[in-house]
Amino acid sequence: MHDCIIIGLGAMGSATAWQLSKAGASVLAFDQFEAGHAKGSSHGRTRVIRRVYSEGDVYMPLLGRAYELWESMGSEAGRDFLIRTGGLDIGYASSRSVQEAESTARQHGIAHERVMASDVMARYPAFNLPHDYDGVFAPDSGMLLSDDANAWMRESATEAGADLRWNTIVADWRREGSHFVVETADGPHSARKLVIAAGPWMGQFVPALDTALTVERQVVAWFDPLKNLRALPVFQVEPEDGVRPYVMPPLNGDGLKIGVYGHLGQRGPDMRDGFEPNATDEALLRDNVERWLPGSIGRAQMMMDCRFTRTRDDRFIIGALPGDEGVTILSPCSGHGYKFAPAIGEAAADLVLERDPKIDLGPFGMERNL
């Protein structure tokens, strides 16, 4: 019998497998697709990491721990997964993202600078911002090499003894006395504890969450830069119309990467399967580069879709299944969770091993979504 079975091997499941196996636990994990697949929300080469967090103060302890773990992962791997480019939260003066970014930075003593639109355009001439916009610059924000980091966590877990099984569909799970049984095509598997990190398919394994979670189609694109954009920070802009893009500078030969929060608003269970990006997707993304960085991009190098699984309040679910502390739920991160992956994996491992998590998980309990 294993100490733990994990359902789902995206970033959160992989981080949990890594942390558990490193602690000496016996781990068996399943994913219905191949390693490094593009069916969830953990792929896409790079992800933004912001040291000041406009989503609110509740995330700051988790974010601080994630930074520590990204650094230790880099030391252990002998390479950097976190590339500091600096980061900007930009918006009209009363925009929530700018106000929250500055508030969390001040409250937690994070290095930052309040900048006016003229300051941003002087520092980064590619920008074109309305004169009444301003922002918060955080020098420790940047980009994560997400595909590489995911692969390293999986490899490290396997080297430490974890059994990671791909292209394996989990049909069901159940508690039997003091342990859990997980059913797959090759038969039942038993473990003392269970972690469910199934992303868009969470509702299939935890029916109580099925109506509380919304699957949203998201598309990102990489564009050829027509100017030298390598010195840009990662940034997001909150305009009055609410169409909020997030942008990453070119890295390692890739183009300028952009996404738009909410994209085209395509939501529902059928978005689990998604569909190939098209001209409408490209037009939305292109328009939201040209709006803030006019004349800066050429052809689209590549577009990629993924699935965001959103809670009602967009806050994460990390914690025990109500009524059964043997089951840990990791869902769904609502499109902004990747940067926290090593800290979430550590917290899940602590729960499985019946240790006190380093971070207060109270704000992330499942109960508020029932």
Q: For residue range 185-221, list pLDDT tens digits in order.
A: 999 999 999 999 999 999 999 999 999 999 999 999 9
pLDDT at 332 over 80: no
DSSP E strand boundaries for the chain: 2-7, 27-30, 47-49, 82-84, 87-92, 113-116, 133-138, 142-144, 163-165, 170-176, 179-184, 187-196, 214-225, 234-238, 245-248, 256-260, 297-310, 317-321, 324-331
pLDDT band at 8 (very low <50, low <70, confident <90, very high): very high
Q: Which residues of 45-82 are buried (b: 16+ CB within 10 A; e: fewer)?
A: bbbbbbbbbbbeeebbebbebbbebbeebbeeeeebbb
Give residue 41's pLDDT. Answer: 92
Residues of the chain with pLDDT > 70, as a percent, come to 100
Q: State how beta strands 133-138 and 87-92 pair.
A: antiparallel
Q: Residue 173 above 80 pLDDT?
A: yes
Q: Which residues contact 284 (CB under 8 A, 6 or more apart)?
A: 219, 260, 263, 264
Cα–Cα distance for residue pair 244/100, rounded to 1 Å: 15
Taking the C-alpha atoms of residue 279 and residue 295, their distance in angstroms, rounded to an integer, is 19
Nearest CA among 201, 217, 140, 204 for reference residue 172: 204
The pLDDT tens digits for 36-51 are 999 999 999 999 999 9
Question: In the prediction, which pLDDT does 253 show?
Answer: 86
Rg value, the chain, Cα: 20
**Arithmetic mean of pLDDT, 283-290:** 98
What's the number of CA atoms in the CB half-sphere (13 Å) around residue 115?
20
Strands 245-248 and 234-238, bridge-based pairing: antiparallel
pLDDT tens per residue, range 237-264: 999 999 999 999 999 889 999 999 999 9
For residue 18, give the H/E element and its range: helix 11-22
Q: How confident is the model at residue 369 (pLDDT cuts 50, 70, 90)?
A: confident
Q: Give pLDDT, residue 17.
A: 98
Dist. CA 287–CA 284, nearest whole Å: 5
Could you give the CA distance from residue 6 to residue 29 in angstroms, rounded to a whole number? 4
Q: What's the pLDDT tens digit per position in 106-160?
A: 999 999 999 999 999 999 999 999 999 999 999 999 999 999 999 999 999 999 9
- Mean predicted confidence (pLDDT) in 351-365: 97
**The pLDDT of residue 93:** 81
pTM over 0.95: yes
Decide: 318 and 364 in contact? Cβ < 8 Å.
yes
- Cβ-count burial of 140 within 10 angstroms (0-12 exposed, 13-18 middle, 19+ buried)? middle
Q: Which two tokens stand for residue 347?
A: 């917290």
pLDDT value of position 76: 97
- Arithmetic mean of pLDDT, 91-108: 94
Hey, what domains does the chain have and what are their CATH numbers?
2-44+147-207+313-369 (3.50.50.60), 83-144+214-310 (3.30.9.10)
pLDDT confidence of residue 163: 98
